[in-house]
Structure 1
Amino acid sequence: MNRILLVRTSAIGDLVFASPFVAALRRRYPDAHIAWLVEPGLDGLLAADPCIDELILWPKAEWKRLWRERRLAELRRAVRAFAATLKARDFDTAIDMQSLFKSGWLAWLSGAPRRIGLGSREGSRWLMTEVVPAGGTPGQISSEYRHLARHLGLDTDHFLPRLAVADDNTRKARALLAEHGLAPRRYAVFAPFTTRPQKHWSEDGWQALARRVREEFGLAAVILGGPSEREAARRIALAAPGAVALAGATSLPEAAALVAQAGLVIGVDTGLTHMGSAFGTPTVALFGSTRPYLDAGRPDARVIWLGLACSPCRRRPSCGGSHDCLHDIHPGRVMDEARTVLAHQAQRRGHHKEKAA
């Protein structure tokens, strides 16, 4: 493999889970040109990764707009132009890590003679030259990508999510913290929001947790999220002294920088929470209707999942909206896990100091 295209266009959490694959690929092929095809707006999460030579942005939103407006001639020209830019890069291998028809079609559009799909679905297998059956260790973070890496003969030692932050985003994050009287490691990132309500914990729980995290650990809660979550973040922050609502106030890479510099991350099944593990920040993840993993691969990252008979239901809840799988998680349980992950990190730092001495 000399010129490799990776196709995993979205979403944030899935990009985090896929991140160790590109590092394994780079170790095996140190001189290869490795490109990653991703949607605009998410590229900032990958931009500082030293294992990636090029990010190619798939203008999905623009194509959808042309389709809605029935500007089909323009859409055809846009697709042809994009295909030409891919083919001009002369990829010899395209790896579809998303397994959907759209991602398989993009891999095919690249013109790469070797196209590898992971558990290809929705008919995308017909666009591949090779299909790696879906597999992996259930409950282990990034397991499916580890499975793919092993199939391709890559090194899977230390196969854990890993992210990098550019220096300018770190500076912006620190400036934002300073505006609110906060310093690195002296705050806890809260990630309460997702696109699906059945993945949400209660606001009362977040408010109680923000107070307890401040009282016991001396960490101010910093609530992150998107622009549509500003009001909910503000309500959580108002209930806890020192809490700061920054939902909608950062770019994606700036939010990542805040996660990287936090003293603790607590969140539901959302990309910001998974970033905590990728940066080695002590992390507690709350899962209910979904269960992407139970083993985060790190002693300073823990998962709370009650294991109710109806869970995981994913997109088809049968509880009538009560979402007991999450609402029955009490702040005291979260605090117990937070103590555990913080103790593990303190132990690790002590070990590093002993080695340095």
Structure 2
Amino acid sequence: MNRLLIVRASAIGDVVFASPFAAAVKRSYPDAHVAWLVEPGIHELLAADPCIDELILWPKGEWKKLWKEGRYLEFLGRVRVFRAMLRDKRFDTAIDMQSLLKSGLLTWLSGAPRRIGLGSREGSQWLMTEVVPKGGIERRISSEYLYLAERLGLDTGEFLPRLCVSDETEAKARALLAAHGLEPGRYAVFAPFTTRPQKHWFEDAWQALAPRVRDELDLTPLVLGGPADKEAARRIASAAPGVVSLAGATRLPEAAAIIKHAGLLVGVDTGLTHMGTAFATPTVALFGSTRPYLDTGRANGKVIWLGLPCSPCRRRPTCNGAFTCLRDISAERVMHEARAVLAAERAA
């Protein structure tokens, strides 16, 4: 692997899960050139990683717009330019970690003579020179990427999610925290938001949790999210005096830095929550309709999953919106696990 292209273009959480792979490559091949193909925006999570030599941004939004507008010749022209750029880099190996047709096509466009697909499907397997089936211990975080690294004979080390934050981002995050009277280690990040309602804990549950975290753990709750989450975050923050909402006020790198310095993180199955594990922040993760992992690999990380017969249902809930798998997780249960991860942090 002299010149390696990693293709894991989208989904913040999955990029976090895959993040230790580049370090495994560098431990095994210190002189290798490691590039990562990723969508703009998400690339900011990887920009400070010293194990990644190059980030290649896939202009997905631009391509999608051209296709929707019926500008097919222009679309094909952009694809050809992108392909030429990739092939000029002369990758000898390209690894598709996303397994889909779109990621398989991107991997194929690279022109790498060795193209490895992880559990390739949707026809992408025909674009690979070899396919590694998904494997590993399902309950462990990053297990499928660890399995791939093992199959390729890489030095895996501890193989847990890892993220790096630049000095500039650290400074911005600290300034934002200071503007709200917050100090590192003295606040608890809440990550309540995802793209699907069946992955959400209920607002009234967050509202019940916030004053308890403030009063019993002596940590100021801080709600993170995107611009579309601002109103819901405001409602959660209104549950107790002093709760801070920064939903829509941070870019992805600053949100990561804030999580890095949190005293505690509580979140649902979303990328921000998985960052807690990457930074070894004491973390309590709440799962219902999904169950990507139960073992965080860290003593100060716990997963709450009730294991109902209908769970995980993923994208096909059968409960008519009751979402009992999350509704039945109480604020008391979360507080119990929060105390446990904080005790583990103190004992480390």
CA distance in 1, matches of 2:237, 2:153: 48
**Letter matched to residue 53 of structure 2:** D
Matched ranges for 1:142-153 at <5 A: 142-153=142-153
2:154 aligned with 1:158, yes or no? no
1:287 deviates by: 0.2
**Letter matched to residue 124 of structure 1:** S
2:193 aligned with 1:193, yes or no? yes
1:76 deviates by: 1.0
Alignment partner of 1:139: what SS?
coil
CA distance in 2, matches of 1:76, 1:316: 35
Aligned residue number for residue 263 of structure 2: 263
Q: Deviations over 1:195-217 (max 9, x none)?
A: 00000001111011110000011
2:184 aligned with 1:184, yes or no? yes
Aligned residue number for residue 36 of structure 1: 36
CA distance in 1, matches of 2:156, 2:109: 29
Alignment partner of 2:294: what SS?
coil
2:338 aligned with 1:324, yes or no? no
> Sequence identity, in percent?
71
Q: Deviations over 1:54-98 (max 9, x none)?
A: 000000000000011111111111000000100000000000010
Matched ranges for 1:58-73 at <5 A: 58-73=58-73
1:157 deviates by: 2.8
CA distance in 1, matches of 2:28, 2:321: 48
Q: Deviations over 1:272-302 (max 9, x none)?
A: 0000000000000000000000000001000
CA distance in 2, matches of 1:237, 1:345: 26
Q: What TM-score does the superposition give when structure 1 sets the normalisation length?
A: 0.97
Structure 1 unaligned segments of length 5 or more: list them. 349-357
CA distance in 2, matches of 1:261, 1:67: 42
CA distance in 1, matches of 2:136, 2:51: 24
CA distance in 1, matches of 2:239, 2:135: 44
Aligned residue number for residue 27 of structure 2: 27
Q: What TM-score does the superposition give when structure 2 sets the normalisation length?
A: 0.99
Aligned residue number for residue 129 of structure 1: 129
2:309 aligned with 1:309, yes or no? yes
**Letter matched to residue 73 of structure 1:** L
CA distance in 2, matches of 1:304, 1:263: 19
- Structure 1 runs, 4 residues or longer, greater than 3 Å off: none
Aligned residue number for residue 250 of structure 1: 250
Alignment partner of 1:284: what SS?
strand
Aligned residue number for residue 225 of structure 2: 225
CA distance in 2, matches of 1:156, 1:35: 18
**Letter matched to residue 55 of structure 2:** L
2:335 aligned with 1:335, yes or no? yes
Structure 2 unaligned segments of length 5 or more: list them. none
2:183 aligned with 1:169, yes or no? no
Aligned residue number for residue 353 of structure 1: none
1:156 deviates by: 2.2
CA distance in 1, matches of 2:226, 2:149: 33
**Letter matched to residue 290 of structure 1:** T
CA distance in 2, matches of 1:74, 1:178: 48
**Letter matched to residue 238 of structure 2:** L
1:22 deviates by: 1.0
**Letter matched to residue 36 of structure 1:** W
Q: Deviations over 1:209-235 (max 9, x none)?
A: 110000011111110011000000001
